[in-house]
Structure 1
């Protein structure tokens, strides 16, 4: 069994060092940081500490960075791939929970959820309403019940790695890939994980981008439900 942790990173100079060091302390699996054309010192920090990474020459967005990681996983024969955010929100202590669940359940994707059971997560009302909106959208469009569809903390098996290496949404992919997989009959489930607040830096998702995100995902999810 080979497991790869993929860490997409764009302008995460404030957090990338601690994120990778915490992962190295707690995780027995391989990892790769995909430096997504960062304009700050993210690339320098990765070089200085000898962290395993790939450098993209331009910013492709989270979708392009993750597809790069999935292609790397496919080419190097990994059985499972896990997405882990560079900003420190995802607790590496939950990695084993994700790995154990996907191996024992035989599911194709296991999502780390803040809501499938009670956790310590506290988010803004706007963020919680947005998540609830996508929960209902996925259920109406695809018939799947997912409590935390925007969670990026997720593991997939080799079948899905092959799918994602070939085709992956360009931006804001979390909800859209669930719709894609559900439409194709892949099995998806959730497990409880704890998530932290961003450990430094600034989120690239502005209110305007959030509106674009909701509109885009709504459109693509409905299209996939009809065809």
Structure 2
């Protein structure tokens, strides 16, 4: 399977080098692409100095926009699998092959922290539970870790994500693809590390807005989007 690991990076000069080093030493056979999302630190210089393959976006698009830029690259270069992988060191590369294997028989594989482990009692986990419930209500499917950013997509989904501007790699898109394109979604048990350095895309205020936006989108907005039955085969 021809796999591209997409690494969106915003102000990750401290974390990017160690993250890429762990990735390439663990899965040396996989291609990867750093997407510099308009960083204002030394992220792009780290890429240049180390010879990392990268896209340099001229302005900050946010996580969804940066990942979609990588997805368009994956589509144009004929990749069979695209994997979203954080630049901050939280995602562990030893699970890459498990995700690849999962999308051999499914459309989307989510690296899940909570298949075999309970969630905590934080505000973020409360939001995750709300999104999980919204997905179950609208699709009938239980996704234990809907906000996990470690996701793999097969060739069929890569095409959909690349060609539709409204297809960010988010829980509402996953919910929509289950319902409208009959996407087969599986969860792969993973563990994740703590962020070591750098600047997160989310703070507590933006996280709360994100959870609310995702829930409203899953429950209401996605039902106004077109059916994808013709693309389901």
Given the two structures, how large is their TM-score scaled by the length of structure 2? 0.90
Q: Which residue in the other structure is 1:71 paired with?
A: 72
Deviations 1:21-52 (A, max 9, x none): 11110112000000011011101111111111
Q: Which residue in the other structure is 1:116 paired with?
A: 115
Mapping of residues 74-85 of structure 1, within 5 Å: 74-85=75-86
Mapping of residues 207-222 of structure 1, within 5 Å: 207-222=204-219
For 1:134 and 1:208, locate their aligned partners in 2 and report how far apart those are by CA, in whole Å: 17
1:118 shift after superposition: 2.9
Please state whether the residue corresponding to 2:220 is helix, strand or coil.
helix
For 2:111 and 2:76, locate their aligned partners in 1 and report how far apart those are by CA, in whole Å: 25
Instruction: Give the conservation status (yes or no) of the 8 Å contact 1:5–1:84.
Output: yes
1:167 shift after superposition: 2.0
After superposition, the Cα gap between the structure-2 partners of 1:133 and 1:146, relative to the gap in structure 1 and judged at 3 Å, is same
1:17 shift after superposition: 0.6
Instruction: Give the conservation status (yes or no) of the 8 Å contact 1:169–1:176.
Output: no
Q: Which residue in the other structure is 1:39 paired with?
A: 40
1:206 shift after superposition: 1.9
1:182 shift after superposition: 1.1
1:123 shift after superposition: 5.7
Please state whether the residue corresponding to 1:165 is helix, strand or coil.
helix
1:12 shift after superposition: 0.7
1:164 paired residue among 161, 174, 180: 161
For 1:125 and 1:134, locate their aligned partners in 2 and report how far apart those are by CA, in whole Å: 14
Please state whether the residue corresponding to 1:81 is helix, strand or coil.
strand
1:174 shift after superposition: 2.2
Instruction: Give the conservation status (yes or no) of the 8 Å contact 1:183–1:224.
Output: no
Given the two structures, how large is their TM-score scaled by the length of structure 1? 0.92
Deviations 1:167-198 (A, max 9, x none): 25487x42112112112211111010110011
Deviations 1:74-124 (A, max 9, x none): 110101100000000000011011111222xx11001010001138xx866
Mapping of residues 145-156 of structure 1, within 5 Å: 145-156=142-153
Q: Which residue in the other structure is 2:26 paired with?
A: 26
Any unmatched runs of 5+ in structure 2? Answer: 225-233
Q: Which residue in the other structure is 2:134 paired with?
A: 137
For 1:225 and 1:48, locate their aligned partners in 2 and report how far apart those are by CA, in whole Å: 43
Any unmatched runs of 5+ in structure 1? Answer: none
What is the root-mean-square deviation in Å for CA atoms of aligned residues?
1.8
